[in-house]
Amino acid sequence: MSASKETEGAVAVITIRNPPVNALSQQAVESILKVLKEVQFDPAVKAIVICGENGKFSAGADIRTFENIGQKSDSLSHFLEDVNSMAEKSEKPVIAAIEGVALGGGLELALGCHYRVAHVKARLGLTEVLLGIFPGAGGTQRLPRLIGLLPALEMITTGKIVFAPVALKLGLIDSVTEDNTIKAAIHFAQNVIGKPLESRRLCTKPIQCPPNMETIFNDSKIKLKKLFHGAISHQLCVEAIRAAVQLPFAEGILKERELLFSIFNSEQARDQAKARQYAFFAERRVTKWTTPSGANWKSASPHPIGVAAVIGLGTMGRGIVVCLAKAQIQVIAVEQDGKQLEMGRKAVTKILERETLTMQQRGLALMSDSFGSITFTLDFNSLKNADLVIEAVYENMALKKEIFKQLSSICMPEAFLCTNTSGLNIDEIASVTGRPHLVIGTHFFSPAHIMKLLEVVRGYHSSPTTISTVINLSKVLGKIGVVVGNCPSFVGNRMMGPYLHQAIFLLEDGCYPEEVDKVLEEFGLAMGPFRMSDLVGLDVGWRSRMESGLTGPKLLPGALVRQREGKRYSPLPDILCEKGRFGQKTGRGWYQYETVGGRNAVPDPWVQNFLHDYRKAHTIKQKPTSQNEILEWCLYPLINEGFNVLEEEIASGPEDIDVIYNNGYGWPRHMGGPMFYASMVGLPKVLTKLEVFYENNPDIPSLKPSGLLKKLVKQGSPPLKEWRSQLGYQNSKL
Ligand SMILES: CC/C=C\CC(=O)SCCNC(=O)CCNC(=O)[C@H](O)C(C)(C)COP(=O)(O)OP(=O)(O)OC[C@H]1O[C@@H](n2cnc3c(N)ncnc32)[C@H](O)[C@@H]1OP(=O)(O)O
């Protein structure tokens, strides 16, 4: 953890060294300061280049030291600003040579330099806000001065990362190179020796501001509130940028400091920051997967995938083809019906065209000159060339088994066979093949080319190599793969079950869909349960309930309307489906939409009358329900199911569940994930509430508190990072 200096003629090169990403720890910053001072006073040095070791400039402050949030990151920013200020005031030109990443404090350091030279593949951003804080080392004051108010406002308030070509257009950097960045920066430095530096010092630069600034700031705050719900740091960013506009630089720096300090002084803001930082490390933690049998990420090496095949070109299949092609993997896309194949081809081509445009706008055209080639075919035999096959036909066990039987005989003996299912039994599918160890579940989320989550479902026989290969593939696809066990609905959807039932019971008891959705959306969920159900399609669950005899022709005669096998049951969604109200796809569901396929959910008087009549018919008394009761009634059973999932070793740790919810189910990151949220609320409180709920509703089994939750409370509610040790994964070799 140090910074070192070498000289190249009259140019001193300071290299930041703190593997793996040259994070700016206190020690690293001290070291940079020391070397920077040294070269200032060395008469042989006429210019200074600052770079990072191993192709990475710096990923910003060392987040590992933030655990003590309130002291460390706050003082670290002040300290880093001292370095930035020293570089800025230097009488010798200082050039940042940016390779890999310049993020957070890393970019703030580069902003303190007089010039910035970056490699074409470098990524730059002030990402602090995504960790619940904001740039506190001059970033909010310097960036608007460099690139203008509006682009700076966007970058700082959203944590947006830009690639070097875009950074060049924005004026964030001065030069882009495809060659050796440090050499290019040294060359650049030699050319600017002796040139006046005053105009290069951002602290002296005025900000170009549009006349309607107040409107811009207010609109920005409203937009951020919608986008990030109750997240405080985004709002504070706007205030800091307002200070940059209204105050001289030195006073702006003080205001930035004061606002950053206010985060550490507010319990809510501090909790949000902790949640976001936890979410960051949870995503890294899940890559170090482990299984109950003791296999883990270290015990197997992934196989590279050159050719992948996708069977079925419905919505999911098309999305999967797109993400494989974008990762430059050669794709064989198979359909059994000519018309479907043609529709699939057109849809994939259209998505890829859109993606190309987006990439060009993000300045990525240079890097993605080609997608992986795609062969669209009706010929199943072409699958013999694939290293890995992803079956993505609709959810029907008989059909999937038929396909896997064929795959077993057509594919190379070492080819991996994946099934894209949201809940079917992986072992049953694997059982028809001669290679169950190479069979695994890959639960993609819709739209598959956009959603980051991939639930990787290990079957009983899935080998560590198979798991490792698919986890590696998820990374290649830019996704986060989370290894889960094989049980009905796996982790995410299984936990959704009790949550959705609870929400529907609220409608029986007197609430309306929009009321329930509002509470959960204000909590921060991307969509409330009813808007989400309308988006997914109410018919999906209806079909599965008909299949399992809960409703429809298979329902046993004499079954009570609101009970199944002694458990509370609500027929409300079944009735909606019987009336053709499937959600957005039919223009009517829990809400009404302007058109079939419309997205703008409007409360529907028909639903309100229908609920009113239903309650009357079943003599249900309308109970007043507070916002807090709605929240606890819906979220605590979801969390409880999370504890069951952990106890049954379906998820290997709370982080796995939280990563699934943050990336697949629109859980607000500033709440960390459902298990983190439970730990913040306090396990005794969650348990007590569940006990009361269950006592009053013994016909709802999902309210019965999980054994693991009770055990943890009995043990004095240890912190979340210790829960894993209470699970059955003791034989893990981590
Ligand atoms: C000085 C105070 C002022 C400013 C405040 C800040 O700067 S806050 C920090 C802002 N920085 C960021 O938000 C960057 C966070 N990191 C990333 O986005 C990615 O890690 C990155 C740098 C793009 C690299 O991604 P990649 O996929 O290549 O690797 P991975 O994410 O697995 O990271 C590798 C290991 O490095 C650890 N790590 C990454 N960034 C930091 C960091 N800033 N501080 C500490 N550690 C960091 C990461 O946890 C991985 O560790 P491992 O033990 O291997 O899991």
CA of 59 to the centre of ligand 1 (A): 5
CA of 98 to the centre of ligand 1 (A): 16
| Pair 309, 334: CB distance under 8 Å | yes
21 ligand 1 Cβ < 6 A? yes
**Protein residue whose Cα sits closest to atom 50 of ligand 1:** 284
Q: 382 is written with which tokens? A: 């072409």
Share of the chain above pLDDT 90, in %: 89
Using N-to-C axis directions, what is the helix angle for 529-536 and 513-523, rounded to 10°? 100
260 ligand 1 Cβ < 6 A? no
Q: DSSP string covering 479-507, please?
A: -EEEEE--STTTTHHHHHHHHHHHHHHHH
What region does 658 belong to: left with phi over 0, alpha with psi -120 to 50, or beta? alpha
310 ligand 1 Cβ < 6 A? no
59 ligand 1 Cβ < 6 A? yes
| Pair 162, 124: CB distance under 8 Å | yes
Pocket test for ligand 1, best of 1, 18, 21 (most atoms within 8 A of CB): 21
**Protein residue whose Cα sits closest to atom 10 of ligand 1:** 104
**Protein residue whose Cα sits closest to atom 16 of ligand 1:** 59
| Pair 487, 618: CB distance under 8 Å | no
Q: DSSP string covering 437-456, please?
A: GGEEEEEE-SSTTT--EEEE
Q: Half-sphere exposure of 85 toward its Cβ, with a 13 Å CA cutoff?
A: 13
Count CB neighbours of 557 within 10 A.
4
Determine the pLDDT at residue 326.
94
CA of 101 to the centre of ligand 1 (A): 10
| Pair 382, 334: CB distance under 8 Å | yes
Which residues, in sequence order, are bridge partners of residue 118?
98, 176
| Pair 633, 669: CB distance under 8 Å | no
Determine the pLDDT at residue 363.
62
CA of 413 to the centre of ligand 1 (A): 39
From the CA of 61, give the closest atom in ligand 1. 7
- The per-type count for the chain, helices as H runs and strands as E runs, is 27, 19
From the CA of 77, give the closest atom in ligand 1. 2
From the CA of 62, give the closest atom in ligand 1. 44
* Of 247, 350, 693, the residue nearest 502 (C-alpha): 693
605 ligand 1 Cβ < 6 A? no
Pocket test for ligand 1, best of 1, 54, 63, 257 (most atoms within 8 A of CB): 63
Q: 151 is written with which tokens? A: 């682009």
CA of 478 to the centre of ligand 1 (A): 16
Cis peptide before 447 (omega within 30 of 0): yes
DSSP strands (E only) in 533-615: 563-564, 567-568
Count CB neighbours of 100 within 10 A.
21
Active site amino acids = 108, 128
20 ligand 1 Cβ < 6 A? yes
From the CA of 159, give the closest atom in ligand 1. 13
CA of 17 to the centre of ligand 1 (A): 14
Determine the pLDDT at residue 564.
95
CA of 378 to the centre of ligand 1 (A): 45
638 ligand 1 Cβ < 6 A? no
If 0-12 CB within 10 Å is exposed, 13-18 middle and 19+ buried, where does residue 674 land?
Answer: buried
Residue 734 binned pLDDT confidence (cut-offs 50, 70, 90): very low
**Least confident piece of the model among 352-366, 410-424, 433-447:** 352-366
Integer Cα distance of 368 and 372 in angstroms:
10
110 ligand 1 Cβ < 6 A? no
From the CA of 80, give the closest atom in ligand 1. 1
Residue 360 binned pLDDT confidence (cut-offs 50, 70, 90): confident
From the CA of 135, give the closest atom in ligand 1. 4
**Mode of pairing for the β-strands spanning 416-419 and 439-444:** parallel
From the CA of 475, give the closest atom in ligand 1. 27
122 ligand 1 Cβ < 6 A? no
Integer Cα distance of 255 and 258 in angstroms:
5
b/e per residue, 702-718, with b = 16+ CB within 10 A?
bbbbbebbeebbeeebe
What tens digit of pLDDT does each residue of 505-558 get?
A: 999 999 999 999 999 999 999 999 999 999 999 998 999 899 889 999 999 998
What tens digit of pLDDT does each residue of 387-419 get?
A: 999 999 998 999 999 999 999 999 999 999 999
Query: 3-class SS at 700?
Result: coil
**Protein residue whose Cα sits closest to atom 18 of ligand 1:** 59
What tens digit of pLDDT does each residue of 253-294 get?
A: 999 999 999 998 999 999 999 999 999 999 999 999 999 988
Give the pLDDT mean for 561-577: 96
* Of 322, 372, 379, the residue nearest 345 (C-alpha): 322
Stronger pLDDT, 361 or 677, i.e. the higher one: 677
CA of 671 to the centre of ligand 1 (A): 20
Determine the pLDDT at residue 400.
97
b/e per residue, 173-188, with b = 16+ CB within 10 A?
bbbbbeeebbebbbbb
Whether the predicted pLDDT of 72 surpasses 90: no
Whether the predicted pLDDT of 730 surpasses 50: no
CA of 330 to the centre of ligand 1 (A): 31
136 ligand 1 Cβ < 6 A? yes
* Of 167, 159, 116, the residue nearest 364 (C-alpha): 167
Whether the predicted pLDDT of 622 surpasses 90: no
From the CA of 137, give the closest atom in ligand 1. 3
Determine the pLDDT at residue 210.
85
104 ligand 1 Cβ < 6 A? yes
**Protein residue whose Cα sits closest to atom 48 of ligand 1:** 284
CA of 21 to the centre of ligand 1 (A): 6
CA of 152 to the centre of ligand 1 (A): 22
Integer Cα distance of 314 and 81 in angstroms:
53
125 ligand 1 Cβ < 6 A? no
| Pair 658, 675: CB distance under 8 Å | yes
User: Average per-residue pLDDT in the chain?
Assistant: 94
CA of 284 to the centre of ligand 1 (A): 10
**Protein residue whose Cα sits closest to atom 4 of ligand 1:** 105
What tens digit of pLDDT does each residue of 690-723 get?
A: 999 999 999 999 999 999 999 999 999 999 999 9
Give the pLDDT mean for 656-660: 98
What tens digit of pLDDT does each residue of 35-61 get?
A: 999 999 999 999 999 999 999 999 999
Whether the predicted pLDDT of 605 surpasses 80: yes
Determine the pLDDT at residue 71.
53
In the chain the first and final C-alpha atoms are separated, in Å, by 25
Q: Interior CA angle at 487 toward 313 and 684, to 5°? A: 125
The one-letter amino acid at 157: T
For residue 124, give the H/E element and its range.
Answer: strand 123-125
**Protein residue whose Cα sits closest to atom 44 of ligand 1:** 62
64 ligand 1 Cβ < 6 A? yes
**Protein residue whose Cα sits closest to atom 32 of ligand 1:** 284
Whether the predicted pLDDT of 475 surpasses 80: yes
Determine the pLDDT at residue 356.
85
Determine the pLDDT at residue 68.
61
Give the pLDDT mean for 623-647: 96
The DSSP 8-state label assigned to residue 588 in this structure reads B
62 ligand 1 Cβ < 6 A? yes
599 ligand 1 Cβ < 6 A? no
**Mode of pairing for the β-strands spanning 94-98 and 101-103:** unpaired
What tens digit of pLDDT does each residue of 169-195 get?
A: 999 999 999 999 999 999 999 999 999
CA distances from 468 to 291, 416, 484 (A): 12, 11, 13
From the CA of 21, give the closest atom in ligand 1. 36
| Pair 571, 551: CB distance under 8 Å | yes
What tens digit of pLDDT does each residue of 73-130 get?
A: 668 888 999 999 999 999 999 999 999 999 999 999 999 999 999 999 999 999 999 9
Integer Cα distance of 520 and 530 in angstroms:
10
CA of 122 to the centre of ligand 1 (A): 15
From the CA of 29, give the closest atom in ligand 1. 1
